[in-house]
Structure 1
Amino acid sequence: MTTHRTPFRLVAAIAAGTAAALVMAACSSGGTASTSSSSKPVDGGSLTYAIANDPITLNPTGTGAGNDTLAITRQLVDSLLWQDPSDGSLKPWLATKYSANADATAFTFDLRSGVTFSDGTAFDATAVKDTFDDIASAGASSTAAASFSGYTGTKVVDDDTVEVDFSTPNAAFPNATASVALGIVAPKTTETPFDDRADGKAVIGTGPFTLQSYTKNTSTVLTKRKDYDWGPAARSNAGAAHLSKVTFQVVPEASVRTGSLQSGQLDAISSVQPSDVDTLQAQYDLVTRANPGQVFGLTFNQKRPIVSDLVVRKAIAQAVDPKAVRDTALNDLFKVADSVLGSTTPGYADTSSGSAASSGSATYDPKAAAAALDDAGWKKGSDGIRSKDGTKLQLKLVWITNFGPNQTSLELIQQELGKVGVGVTLESGTVPQYLANLTSGDWDLSWDNSSRADGDVLRSKFSSSGAQSIGASDTTLDALFTKELSQSSASDRSATFGEIQQRIASQVDFVPVHELTSIIAPATDVHGIVFGADTRLDQLTGAWKDAS
């Protein structure tokens, strides 16, 4: 294969606009890496890293347990591009450069030579084509399905060049190629049926670690690839990992994770709970970073008659006090949300009351909420819950148990809504249970977030054709998503994301409550753990432990 030495040519309009917001993300969240020792990194040693949930699947494109799945699969697979957490720009990784045509329907990637999969197979254009074709054919079974809307295929131009084609504009695609879900896998992986890859035995990537073992609900053990030498040049270590072995230990209870770190049984813990922050900050240098993407809040299932009514949705929004929820369940590391997008997301716009884009937005006002429901014919019964024409204003809210403060947040929201006569039944569950609840359609409200360093993260939920569509059938919003996908200018795309956020706010499709900040606590002898641009654990090539 031919070695490509041409400078990495970004499509400036797509990549450059990510810079300013993410510089703020990296600086405002309390640091992105554990404090480095004065000594040089030490090669060797093993790291035991606690996660809250079983990964469910080690297939990079499968539907797993969220961040805990991605923390592991990121170690196994590399991506075509790397999004730099310091400024949000797209940089070379498995691709040395890329370009796009004028209407963002075709993307050409020049590939790096000399890269191999962990089974010794050479990385080439065919592997990229097979990976992308596999993701597209998996459809709803793949977390990457939204990135392949309108996908018509990948052409192998030569061993080192691919062209990815779409029938409709997809300006979000280059950013998506930096994600774990679009990580490139070997031919033996794509030859294995999609549903047979969950245990990871068939997952073969070019990443810095390989799978040694996976024991469901217990641990995943990875070992380093000694020949790894193609990480992003902008990383602190682009070569082989310092650590010889990494064990991802499943420890569901936050208190157990904290206690095990303090007793020396664990080297690092993820998903540090806000209630433990003060204690751990006194002992360790926490790794924190605000998450880009959709914030935590309430989504309405507008296929259900009651919440398809804008009057009801607005009253619910007016009855919820985001600051009270944040102050009760969290701490100041978590920002009160003022938009459906987190403030560290490229294209973020403040849509709260008093902002430049606040026209039509609902603000906390429980008296106005009660009055509006009265005017709409929703009258309180003897139990305090309103009803209209024989239908009670009783709603089912589904949520995931993978973030400790969720229960406190939702119990307070339940109380706030009860005060204005809206009954809420809370139905919790693990990630699989939550996804099953969403798929069933038997819900009125959902509570979740979605981390991604691109405003296009909203399309899957809020467009009528999205994989998780809320069922609003909003032609204005659909047109705005179509618009952002066709824009080659980063500033134009950011402006469109502003319009999208304002439309969602004015139609009260979502009630923003708080942003998410991810927190990792490493032991004092552990260094170099960092978050990626999506505020998920990045590859551990730069992580190391002091010599014992």
Structure 2
Amino acid sequence: MVLTIVSAFSLAACAGSTTSDHSSSTPVPGGTLTYGINDSPSCFDIHANSKDITAEIQRNVFDSLVSQDDQHQFHPWLAEGWTIADDQKSYTFTLRRDVVFTDGTPFTAHAVKANLDHIVAPATKSEYAVNLLGPYTGTDIIDDYTVRINFSAPFASFLQAASTTYLGIYSPRTLAENADKLCAGGSVDVGSGPFVFSSYTKGQSAVMTRNPAYHWAPANAAHNGPAYLDSLVFRILPEDATRVGALTSGQIDMARAIPPIQVPTVEAAKGLSLMRTDQPGLTYSIFLNSASAPLDDQRVRSAIQQGIDVAEDVKAVYFGQYHRSWGPLSPTTPSYDPSVAESWHYDPDKAGKLLDEAGWTGRDGEGFRTKNGKRLSLFWPGLPSAGVRDQRDLLEQVAQADLAKIGVEVTHPRLTAGDYNARVADGGFHLFSVSWARPEPDLLRLFFHSANIPPHGQNVAHLRDPQVDQWTATGSATTDERTRDDVYARTQREVLDNGSVVPLYVLAAIAGFDDDVHGHAFDASGWMTFYDAWKA
């Protein structure tokens, strides 16, 4: 299934600490924490929707089989233990016996099967969770507290997938009775998490209240038992100035996505602090569609890659708060290859020579290159204006200007969501920009293996490279770190060398918070968690 990129639009991140440092303080139960967010879910169903904000909000409501820490280690959660078959084609989980969903339904193996089957059901129309299940063939219930999850091929990344919100576990009762209502959020979204989804006011706020029965926190949490906070409110404040103003004026306790230009304002405010993390996964990059002329010529793709002044553009737009990326993976992603750093640079002269070699030697009245009387023009679909965040529109404008200097016209209109997704599905584009948050290098398979070309996957570069296919298939089939590091490093270098991608930047996930807020932390994907949070 092709991922709906509009709703899958995801942040990447950059350097800094991963938690707030108040370890010497004693937690104080009670109170309400209000968190300003810059986006709102188009659907709250974690099995259907793919937006990062959906996962960040719903992490408080839904538990997962396992937990992953920021060092990429896995810990027990709803599953107290697990074994992986030697052929990597099945995972057997031993489940906790004391977990109860907030509607009173006990958590058993039947709940696990019901959830995984819900994800792959066509009626769910899953945008992302179904991809996380890969070659899933079904779930065997061994007994009430033992479950075996099966795959048709080795699938080494499943444990990481099982730690995500997207494979979180709903109450089987709500799946049976309210599956068609889960997108709306609110009381039908029943999980076993530390908070209950109490209410949602569209475009304004989502309210969570403490689950007093909670005592099955993941093994890597700072405490066990109920959350400290009485309630957690997500205020939807898409305008950067409004969100930062609400933080500095004390209307909210924390704010997500502090824009680089506003960082000095928060730093200067009394009683406020900043925290940041490197978000793993795909960096924000431009993918070049090799199936669409003239990008079917590698010389043209390489010219585009070297014709964008990435370092200066990122510096100018983000004031040094975000750093340029050198490869398709963030440096905090497992199997990131550090050799990609400094491996390519802005070189407009070389880009011009490559275009000359490819036959684009003429010039029209506006100075754009031509070949056989046809202008060198590339189509780059733009997200609807409401989906543009973090000044990416400005970065894209300067990239267009760079390419114009070497004689390449780039049209970059803002499309409706429907038109945008249609372009993804039918390959009607030359350039495509996206990032993806996930601490798992198997993203390289999803975005570059030929089996995943839209409309059946996320390979928007339409790359057909037998070596990349072999390397990423090998990586997805083994948990051996040395093998994974080797094949994923080869993949990262190859997609740069063949001009499939122009990495732009690693985005810093920057959050501002009142100094009276403690215990909050970024999870393995760089999203804020509140189970251990409390207010002084």
Which residue in 1 is equivalent to 2:101?
Answer: 117
SS at 1:211 equivalent:
strand
Secondary structure at the aligned position of 2:224 is classed as coil
Q: Flag the 1:97–1:410 CA change in 2: closer, same or farther, 3 A.
A: same
Residue 112 of structure 1 deviates from its aligned partner by 1.1
Q: Does 1:418 align with 2:404?
A: yes
- Report if the CA contact (8 A) 1:351-1:501 is conserved: no
- Residue 189 of structure 1 deviates from its aligned partner by 3.4
C-alpha separation in 2, matches of 1:434 and 1:239: 45
Instruction: Provide the identity percentage.
Output: 33
Question: 1:188–1:202: 8 Å Cα contact kept in structure 2?
Answer: no
TM-aligned CA distance change 1:434 to 1:280, over 3 Å: farther
Measure the CA separation in 2 of the matches of 1:303 and 1:63: 29
Q: TM-score, normalised by structure 2?
A: 0.91
Distance in 2 between residues matched to 1:44 and 1:183, nearest whole Å: 26
Question: 2:520 corresponds to which letter in structure 1?
Answer: I
Q: What is the CA distance between 1:140 and its match in structure 2?
A: 5.7
Once the two structures are superposed, the pairs formed by residues 349-498 of structure 1 within 5 Å of their partners are: 349-352=337-340, 358=343, 362-378=344-360, 379-400=362-383, 401-428=387-414, 434-435=420-421, 437-439=423-425, 441-466=427-452, 467-470=457-460, 471-498=462-489
Q: Which amino acid aligns with 2:439?
A: A
Q: Does 1:204 align with 2:186?
A: no
Instruction: Show CA shifts across 1:378-437 (max 9, x none).
Output: 122111222223432222223444422212211110111110111112234687875454
Kept in 2: contact 1:102–1:488 (CA 8 A):
no
1:321-362 deviations in whole A, cap 9, x for unaligned?
A: 2211221111444232111101011000035375xxx5xxx5
Matches of 2:96 and 2:470, distance apart in 1: 37
How far residue 38 of structure 1 moved from its aligned partner, in angstroms, is 5.6
Q: CA RMSD for the aligned pairs?
A: 2.2
Q: Counterpart in 2 of 1:18?
A: none
Deviation at residue 126 of structure 1 after TM alignment:
0.9
CA contact (8 A) 1:292 1:342 kept: yes
Secondary structure of the structure 2 residue equivalent to 1:142: coil
User: Partners of 1:176 and 1:500 in 2: how far apart?
Assistant: 21
**Cα shift readout 1:223-269 (whole Å, capped 9, x = no counterpart):** 11011111112211232111111111111110110111111111111
Letter in 1 for 2:93: F
Task: For 1:393 and 1:299, locate their aligned partners in 2 and report how far apart those are by CA, in whole Å.
Answer: 18
The 1:91–1:180 alpha-carbon spacing in structure 2 relative to 1, beyond 3 Å, is: same
Q: 1:7 maps to which residue?
A: none
Partner letter of residue 531 of structure 2?
Answer: T
Contact 1:338–1:351 (CA under 8 A) maintained in structure 2: no
For the structure 1 residues 436 and 43, does the alpha-carbon distance in structure 2 shift closer, same or farther, using more than 3 Å as the test? Answer: farther
Contiguous gaps of at least 5 residues in structure 2: 1-11
The aligned counterpart of 1:285 is 273
Are the aligned partners of 2:340 and 2:492 in contact in 1 as well (CA < 8 Å)?
no
- Is 1:32 the counterpart of 2:23? The answer is no
User: What is the letter of the counterpart of residue 205 of structure 2?
Assistant: S
In structure 2, how many angstroms separate the alpha carbons of the residues matched to 1:465 and 1:140? Answer: 20
Equivalent pair of 1:366/1:420 in contact (CA under 8 Å): yes
Residue 140 of structure 2 corresponds to 155
Asked if 2 retains the 8 angstrom alpha-carbon contact of 1:399 and 1:448, the reply is no
2:172 counterpart letter in structure 1: P
Q: Is the partner of 1:29 in helix, strand or coil?
A: coil
Structure 1's unaligned 5+ residue stretches are 1-24
Question: Any residues of structure 2 matched to 1:274-313 within 5 Å, and which?
Answer: 274-283=260-269, 284-313=272-301
Larger mean Cα displacement after TM superposition, 438-447 or 188-197: 188-197
Once the two structures are TM-superposed, the CA of residue 182 in structure 1 deviates from its matched residue by 0.7
Matching residue of 1:348: 336
Shift of 1:162: 0.8
Q: Distance in 2 between matches of 1:422 and 1:368?
A: 14
Q: Deviations over 1:102-153 (max 9, x none)?
A: 1211111111110011111001111111111111224862312222222111
For 2:516 and 2:466, how far apart are their aligned partners in 1? Answer: 55
Equivalent residue, structure 1, for 2:517 = 526
Cα distance change, pair 212–143 in 1 and its aligned pair in 2 (3 A): same
TM-aligned CA distance change 1:305 to 1:191, over 3 Å: farther
Q: Structure 1-normalised TM-score?
A: 0.89
Q: CA deviation at 1:62?
A: 1.9
Contact 2:46 2:165 survives alignment (8 Å)? yes
Aligned to 2:234: 248
Q: Structure 1: which amino acid aligns with 2:483? A: D
Alpha-carbon spacing, 1:237–1:336, altered in 2? closer, same or farther (3 Å): same
Per the alignment, in what secondary structure is the counterpart of residue 157 of structure 1?
Answer: strand
In structure 2, do the counterparts of structure 1 residues 499 and 389 end up closer, same or farther at CA, with 3 Å as the change threshold? same
Instruction: Letter of the 1:187 partner, please give it.
Output: P
Q: What is the identity, as a one-letter code, of the residue corresponding to 2:287?
A: T
Aligned position for 1:543: 533
2:9 equivalent in structure 1: none
Which piece of structure 1 moves more, 383-392 or 94-103?
A: 383-392
In structure 1, what is the equivalent of residue 65 of structure 2? Answer: 80
Does 2:504 correspond to 1:516?
A: no
Match of 1:216 among 202, 205, 208: 202
Distance 1:225 1:83 in 2: 22
Q: What amino acid does structure 1 have at the position aligned with 2:389? A: F
Where 2:521 maps in the other structure, the secondary structure is: coil
Question: Which whole-Å deviations, capped at 9, do the CAs of 1:186-236 have from their partners, x for residues lacking one?
Answer: 112332575532112432111111111112212111111011111112211
Offset at residue 37 of structure 1 (A): 8.0
Kept after mapping to 1: 8 A contact 2:174/2:190:
yes
Give the whole-Å Cα distance in 1 for the aligned partners of 2:401 and 2:190. Answer: 49
Aligned to 1:395, what secondary structure does the other structure show? strand
Q: How big is the shift at 1:363?
A: 3.1
Work out the CA distance in 2 between the residues paired with 1:476 and 1:43: 55
Work out the CA distance in 1 between the residues paired with 2:90 and 2:98.
26
2-structure distance, mates of 1:369, 1:95: 53
CA distance in 2, matches of 1:434, 1:265: 36
Match of 2:245 among 259, 264, 274: 259
Q: Secondary structure at the match of 1:42?
A: coil
- Quickly say closer, same or farther: Cα 1:107–1:229, change in 2 above 3 A: same
Tell me the number of residue pairs that the alignment of Structure 1 and Structure 2 aligns.
512
